[in-house]
Structures are given as structure tokens and as C-alpha cells.
Structure 1
């Protein structure tokens, strides 16, 4: 609900790498990798009903703004 309600200009996505996610019941798990951020991108584009390319561009711009990465260009 929070993601769907948030304006696209206020959203950042990231990974929890490196971390190992373990199923409490089975003990099975997997290691998270930086590429897993694309699963989050898929979810954002679905919730916001926009294509992945547009979502990625907006999220990159949000990241640049938040971390002031474009202040030297």
C-alpha cells in the first residue's frame, strides 16, 4: 500500500547485499546479489503501472538527486 501511494519522485530502491536469506521452516535459502534489485524494479513498475524503462529512469534520477550525484556535472 505504501509503495502504491507514494509519488514516484519520492521512491528509492536498493538491495540488502550481501545477505543470506534463510527459510526458517526448511533451512533452505539463497544469497542476495546486486542484480536482485531488478525484482524490486519489476514490482515498482507493476504497482505504478508504468513500463520498466520509465521506472528505472525515474528511480535513477531520484538516486542522483538524493545523493547529490549530479552536483559536479
Structure 2
């Protein structure tokens, strides 16, 4: 689809999320600033910027607005993703696998969450148990899970 149509549809989805008080999971590769501007202008309450690896300035805006980023197994090797994980506090982060995406020639599966956890733990220099606990609490809060 052309960019104009993508922006129009994304805005409608963001408006739906806002109206229905649902979190928005954003795949915005290469369009981080534009996606953030739309989400912010619509007033979406809860959003996750999936596999964030964009500019630090946009990341700061995302974090200052109370939104989350997600870390993936790419935190083992992608310098831009590693930088985002370094900058983002644990209380603004979720862990994921993005399976069945292929990481360095290997098709991922749900067990790759351990790779994500270990990468974030190493980058943040925090025990993996602490990373797991905090990011799980973030997911519970974001998804409003009744626990």
C-alpha cells in the first residue's frame, strides 16, 4: 500500500485503540517518528513500539510519553536495538520473540524468549530474574490482566 493509505489506516487503528482503551502494538520499522506523532496526537493511552531500533530522540519521546518498547532476540547483536535496550528503563520494556521471524538464519520459536531475557539482562547488567519479574509486571499492567 502507498504511504498515504498506510498513515490513514494506522490513524484509524490508533483512534480505535484510544476509543476502546486498548493497547496498541506498533510495528513502525523506518517510520518511528511518524508513528509516534500519530499515536501521541490521537492520545493513545497504552502503546508498545515493537523491536525498537530507531533514533534515540524518538525513543526519548516514546519513553517520556509513558509508552513501552519491546526487546527481541535481536538484542544479542543489533547495535541499534542494543542501544534502545540500554536507554529504556525496565519499567518501560516488554520481552518478545517475534516468532517465527528468522534471526541469523535460525527460525525463532517461543523458547527464544530466553535469548531475549538473557540479552536484556546482560545489556542492563541486571539479574535475569529481575528482568523477568519487571517485564512480566509490565505486561500484566499493559494488558490489564486480572491477577
| TM band (smaller chain) | 0.7 to 0.9
Does residue 1:15 correspond to 2:97, yes or no?
yes
Question: Residues 24-43 of structure 1 correspond to what in structure 2 (within 5 A)?
Answer: 29-43=105-119
More RCO (CA 8 Å, sep 6+)? 1
Q: Structure 1 pair 22/43, CA: closer, same or farther in 2 (3 Å)?
A: closer
CA distance in 2, matches of 1:56, 1:22: 22
Alignment partner, residue 26 of structure 1: none
Q: Structure 1 pair 47/22, CA: closer, same or farther in 2 (3 Å)?
A: closer
Structure whose residues are more often helix by fraction: 2
> What secondary structure does 1:17 align onto?
coil
Q: Mark the runs of 5 or more structure 1 residues left unpaired by the alignment.
A: 24-28
RMSD, matched Cα = 1.7
Aligned length: 65
TM-score, normalised relative to structure 2? 0.41
CA distance in 1, matches of 2:125, 2:90: 11
Q: Mark the runs of 5 or more structure 2 residues left unpaired by the alignment.
A: 1-82
